A = this chain, B = another copy of it.
Amino acid sequence: MKKRPMPLSRVYRLLEPGPVVMVTTAHKGRANVMTMSWHTMMDFEPPLVGCVISGNNYSFAALKATKECVLNIPAMNLAKQVVGVGNCSGRRLDKFKKFHLTPAQASLVAPPLIVECFANLECKVVNNRMVSKYNFFVLEVLKAWIDPGMKNPRTLHHLGRGAFMVAGRTIKLPSKKA
């Protein structure tokens, strides 16, 4: 299904539950993708996201140099790709080809959107003060895309060592807060 732009004020509702994301970068004419679970919302609007990307990852250098990435959110149907992408390096490999992931042009940044993911967040690095000490980047989400047909996505939540909790049912309680 074709994706639609999503209001930036709703981005936190995608990331706050803690799903695994696939991070795309582009550097020196090559796109790459990695899996990532160490992220947190830091502000509502514009949406700020903090994330840790290890210096061992090929994506680290790309993000540091280009200051752009896309956070792509996969559902359970992509579980094999999520683990596969996490188990190898883009240094010598085109992971899009290997894992049959389709790149699509983003609107505001160079790294590609992953078509198979139900949501895509185009980001730029807005603070790198904690990169040297903690590999911690602060990202601003510039543009958000969502598959309007995906109502209750079965997101993946990493429990360590290849185990994932799959998003279960939704409950609703009266709340005064966002």
Contacts and interface: CB of A to CB of B under 8 A. Distances in A.
Interface of A: 10, 12-13, 16-19, 37-43, 48, 50-52, 76, 79-80, 83, 86-87, 127, 129-130, 133-134, 136, 138, 154-155, 157-178
A172 B178 contact: no
Contacts of A157: 16-18, 157, 167
A85 to B, nearest CB: 11
Nearest to A160: B13
A165 B167 contact: yes
Given A41-B52, A42-B134, A172 B163 contact: yes
A19 B40 CA distance: 11
Contact of A19 (B13, B18, B130): B18
Protomer copies:
2
A168 B130 CA distance: 34
Contacts of A130: 127, 129-130
A176 B76 CA distance: 19
Contacts of A18: 16-19, 37, 157
Which of A37, A39, A50, A174 lies at the interface centre, i.e. has the most chain B CB atoms within 10 A of its CB? A50
A43 B134 contact: yes
A118 B155 CA distance: 23
